[in-house]
Amino acid sequence: MEFNIALLKGDGIGPEIVDSAVAVLEKAADKFGHTFNFTPYLIGGCAIDETGRPLPKETVEGCLASDSVLLGAVGGPKWDDQPGDNRPEKALLGIREALGLYTNLRPAKLYSALRGASPLKDEIVGDGFDLLIVRELTGGIYFGDRGCRQGKYGEEAFDTEAYSVTEIERIGRVAFESAMKRSKKLCSVDKANVLESSRLWRKTMHRLAEEYPEVEYSDMFVDNAAMQLVRNPRQFDVIVTSNMFGDILSDEASQITGSIGMLASASLGETTRGMYEPIHGSAPDIAGQNKANPLATILSAAMMLRYSFGLSAEADAVEEAVDRVLEKGFRTADILGDSADVPLTCTEITEKVLEEL
């Protein structure tokens, strides 16, 4: 099969980790007899430097014309003084919206080889956990009305959280369907004791739950969910939540796996064209030093193979190659833990994955 992939390398370590994932995709194409064509486009700070805008029109058009999109990371201190609507991060929101990517799948699993890296006690980690956060990605406070005005105490700024039944229903369906494919357990996280938008969220989820009687459904307030994730992460399988709660909880979930450098994500909409990216950021402090952990981006590429191209054997092969690299004890600096070993560089660990593949 032949597919066109848009590459949004972005800033910081973005170019290094995307190059690693491209090498792995090329190897997979070779091994399984496919052709992947890669076209790079600018996004984030590097796009501001070249064009003045974080999300140039050519980038949006290029992504829309491609079969799928692989993204590294955007942002860095260099662009911190940009006005709010011209920040590198704004490009991420823009591309998610332009591609209609309302679903964000963020799996957080504890690799058995990396168990020691989890900051949780052994008795809490038990035999490990494997959860999936389904985050709504194009609605809520990230996209609501915002502005500045004069208020009771003088100058104030505001952002608004709004969710329509349509938006809640479509992300809810993805979550219930995901639960059906996994352990049939779904927890919806909201703040329905305070927020009107959460009450509509909960009511809509309950209606959907009636359509999925096989799914063991529960609700949880977000503050409790934040606590339960560190108290007993094994109680969860699929979690569905709003844009902002999902942003926060997925960072927490990644941290308890001990290795934010390992976690991949898929952003999906109504078509098979998705956007795949590691959930860590651009790590400007180590950019250009060949120290970055490319495994999350490589695993994101595996998600692309699975979700956008329907190539599950290929996706399995990449994921298994990463597993074997970890089982053999190869580590980049971020997942080295207490070991006295010398960490591998970004290109070295990529080589190991290619060998296993």
Residue 240 binds which one of Mg ion, ligand IPM, none, with CB within 5 to 8 A depending on kind? none
Quote the CA–CA distance of 141 and 84 in Å, as a whole number.
15
- Six token digits for residue 167: 């938006």
Query: Annotated catalytic, 251?
Result: yes
Site for ligand IPM, residues 266 to 295, rule: CB under 6 A: 279
Site for ligand IPM, residues 91 to 120, rule: CB under 6 A: 92
Q: Give bridge partners of residue 159 from the DSSP assignment.
A: 146
Quote the CA–CA distance of 90 and 347 in Å, as a whole number.
30
Residue nearest ligand IPM, Cβ-based: 89
Q: Residue 79 in contact with residue 45, Cβ under 8 Å?
A: yes
Residue nearest Mg ion, Cβ-based: 247
Classify residue 340 as exposed, middle or buried by CB count within 10 Å of its CB (0-12, 13-18, 19+).
exposed
Q: How far is the CB of 179 from Mg ion (least distance, A)?
A: 23
Q: Does 252 bind ligand IPM (CB under 6 A)?
A: no
Query: Annotated catalytic, 19?
Result: no
Q: How far is CA 89 from CA 67, 73, 93, in A?
A: 23, 9, 7
Query: Annotated catalytic, 191?
Result: yes
* Residue nearer to Mg ion on the CB measure, 228 or 255: 255
Choosing from 11, 237, 247, 334, the catalytic residue is 247
- Buried-exposed string 271-302: b where 16+ CB fall within 10 A, e elsewhere: eebbbbbbbbbbbbebbeeebbbbbbbbbbbb
* Residue nearer to ligand IPM on the CB measure, 28 or 92: 92
Q: Work out which of 247, 295, 306, 335 binds ligand IPM, going by CB under 6 A.
A: 247
Q: How far is the CB of 304 from ligand IPM (least distance, A)?
A: 16
In this structure, are strands 35-40 and 103-109 parallel, antiparallel, or unpaired? unpaired
Query: Annotated catalytic, 190?
Result: no
Q: What share of the chain is helix, strand, coil (3-state, %, to 5)?
A: 50, 20, 30
Q: How far is the CB of 327 from Mg ion (least distance, A)?
A: 29
Site for ligand IPM, residues 56 to 95, rule: CB under 6 A: 89, 92
Helix (H) or strand (E) holding 320: helix 312-327
Instruction: Report the SS3 class of residue 168.
Output: helix
* Residue nearer to ligand IPM on the CB measure, 89 or 319: 89
Q: How far is the CB of 334 from Mg ion (least distance, A)?
A: 17
* Residue nearer to ligand IPM on the CB measure, 28 or 299: 299
Q: At which residue do the structure tokens 């957080």 appear?
A: 108
What's the full length of the chain, in residues? Answer: 357
Query: Annotated catalytic, 247?
Result: yes
Helix (H) or strand (E) holding 251: helix 243-256
Quote the CA–CA distance of 313 and 140 in Å, as a whole number.
36
Q: How far is the CB of 247 from Mg ion (least distance, A)?
A: 4
Q: How far is the CB of 71 from ligand IPM (least distance, A)?
A: 10
- Six token digits for residue 72: 């590294």
Q: Which amino acid is at 213?
A: P
Question: Around Cβ 327, how many Cβ atoms within 10 Å?
Answer: 12
Choosing from 145, 223, 316, 341, the catalytic residue is 223
* Residue nearer to ligand IPM on the CB measure, 68 or 300: 300
Residue 92 binds which one of Mg ion, ligand IPM, none, with CB within 5 to 8 A depending on kind? ligand IPM
Q: How far is the CB of 232 from ligand IPM (least distance, A)?
A: 24
* Residue nearer to ligand IPM on the CB measure, 138 or 308: 138
Question: Which residues of this chain interact with Mg ion, rule CB under 5 A?
Answer: 247
Q: Residue 326 in contact with residue 113, Cβ under 8 Å?
A: yes
Quote the CA–CA distance of 308 and 243 in Å, as a whole number.
22
* Residue nearer to ligand IPM on the CB measure, 212 or 245: 245
Tell me the number of residues near ligand IPM by CB under 6 A.
4
Contact positions vs ligand IPM (CB under 6 A): 89, 92, 247, 279
Residues annotated as part of the active site? 142, 191, 223, 247, 251
